[in-house]
Chains A and B, each alone.
Chain A
Amino acid sequence: EPEVTQTPSHQVTQMGQEVILRCVPISNHLYFYWYRQILGQKVEFLVSFYNNEISEKSEIFDDQFSVERPDGSNFTLKIRSTKLEDSAMYFCASSEIARETQYFGPGTRLLVL
């Protein structure tokens, strides 16, 4: 069964460093999303991406964040200069069309020291 994959599973970084989180959505899916979950809290929407552009972003998704689909398979989230409060689990999700179910990857746990 096709699934969303994410790398790395864990990342530890120093405050101020750049990180790139990678996702490979399900191959025939056209809509891509990033969410984050601070430890013990709810899952929060960051950004949605369709047709090579951002379709919606939350207020969390400030200038420090960017997304890219560099090739036909990868979907990346870059945090330019990490802060302590960026420590969270980051989930990538994809759906075939917008109103269909979003399937989530296993997440990347980011720890900023």
Chain B
Amino acid sequence: GAVVSQHPSWVICKSGTSVKIECRSLDFQATTMFWYRQFPKQSLMLMATSNEGSKATYEQGVEKDKFLINHASLTLSTLTVTSAHPEDSSFYICSARTSGALYEQYFGPGTRLTVT
């Protein structure tokens, strides 16, 4: 149980275009989903927290107009990188939190974005 999927697993796009990444909790309802970004040999950097049906909370330094997050249902959150630039190339990982006693986060497999 507690499987989180991401789609696509990798994407290459041209500078100036937008890319949408989907995150789904497959076998549980996720009241909260998180989006992380990881640069090579660096830690996971939290970008934003999204609760189902409400606006995402962005971490300091993360442009909310550039990284659009939608959490429309208890099993789906999307991250749209708008007007992508080469410096947005990174590994994006989502995670979903289950409600209940343990509050553990389960991570998706990640999406490798390359902007050319």
> Is B a genuine binding partner of A?
no
Which residues of B line the A interface, CB within 8 A? none
